[in-house]
Amino acid sequence: MDAAAQTERLLRTPGGRIRELVTPEGVDLRVVVVDASERAAAFLLDVAFIVLALIALTLVLVGAGLVFSFAASEYFGALWLLGFFFLRVFYFTAFECTSRAATPGKRILGLRVARRDGGPLTADAIFARNAMRELEVFLPLTFLGARVQTVDTWISVFALVWCGVFTLFPLFNADRLRIGDLVAGTWVLRAPKRVLGADLTATALPAIMFSGAALDAYGIHELSVLEEVLRRRDPATMQAVAVRIRSKIGLTADQTPAPEFLSAYYAALRGRLEQRLLFGKRKRDKHDAG
């Protein structure tokens, strides 16, 4: 697969919001990049949740102050600042590091973070995109809240310009990317709700015996990609993926039709990965030794 095939291409569809993405496994998928308004709405929801958490923390600390007659009020103030710091810095990172790759605000609106090259989302990328939010949002807001005697006006003007540049930046690129997305190589996609993967294996499957080595060839990321292929039911894609998997696991002589073969391998791989998870062994992708 050449480098050009690894990059996403804009499809000729109304609005230009659908992208064609070739994953590192050679699977051609279509994704929907969300609008700037949806991203802003998700961010405002998350800010609301952070504010609610701060209110709850404040009430708890005030209650503790009443119990202790405010003898330790300075310590409670320090705890509030520490809680605010952790919420501001780690709220987005912690939620996006989960398997859903989405904060509560994104989940409510059906959005998720993904890598633009189709690869697995890494903790480094998540940290990078959210670290940039400090420069994009919170630092200029701190400037706006600052009160310096002689340069207060200039700080406010600078902060307003800074906020305007970073806030409007997604409006000037086709994929509505933040600066943090450019740095981390990510974007925000629409993640429609699905039924569980069990429906893909509910029908009778061919009796194909896969060895342990054949099932250990792939991991959770490839299982997710295979699930997407089975849902799309595109004959050409299914045939290409079946050939690739047969070559990878040494079953080139198998003549089972591609849909049946992929369904059987999906069921076996899913069972293998679930069994390994019970013993605390997580194989993220084909490159992970597990």
- Residue 30 inside a domain? The answer is no
Over residues 20-36, mean pLDDT: 66
pLDDT at 41: 92
Highest mean pLDDT among 12-26, 37-51, 266-280: 37-51
The parent domain of residue 54 ranges over 36-190
pLDDT at 114: 86
Is residue 131 located within the same domain as residue 68? yes
Contacts of residue 54, Cβ cutoff 8 Å, sequence gap at least 6:
83, 84, 87
- Residue 5 inside a domain? The answer is no
Is residue 172 located within the same domain as residue 94? yes
Over residues 192-221, mean pLDDT: 69
Is residue 181 located within the same domain as residue 219? no
Whether residue 48 is predicted with pLDDT greater than 80 in this model: the reply is yes
Q: Can you tell me whether residue 27 is helix, strand or coil? A: coil
Is residue 88 located within the same domain as residue 122? yes
CB distance 162 to 154 below 8 Å: no
User: For 24-33, 125-134, 136-145, 266-275, which range has the lowest pLDDT when averaged over its residues?
Assistant: 24-33
Is residue 136 located within the same domain as residue 206? no
pLDDT at 227: 85
Is residue 138 located within the same domain as residue 265? no
Spatial distance between the Cα atoms of 36 and 98, rounded to a whole number of angstroms: 23
Number of structural domains, the chain? Answer: 2
Q: Last residue of some domain: 161, 190, 219?
A: 190
Distances in whole angstroms, Cα of residue 260 to Cα of each of 237, 264, 265: 14, 6, 9
Spatial distance between the Cα atoms of 238 and 230, rounded to a whole number of angstroms: 7
| Stated pTM of the model | 0.62
- Residue 29 inside a domain? The answer is no
Which of the pair, 89 or 10, is modelled with greater confidence? Answer: 89
Q: Last residue of some domain: 190, 213, 248?
A: 190
Is residue 181 located within the same domain as residue 233? no
Confidence of residue 53 (pLDDT cuts 50, 70, 90): very high
Over residues 157-172, mean pLDDT: 76
pLDDT at 96: 92
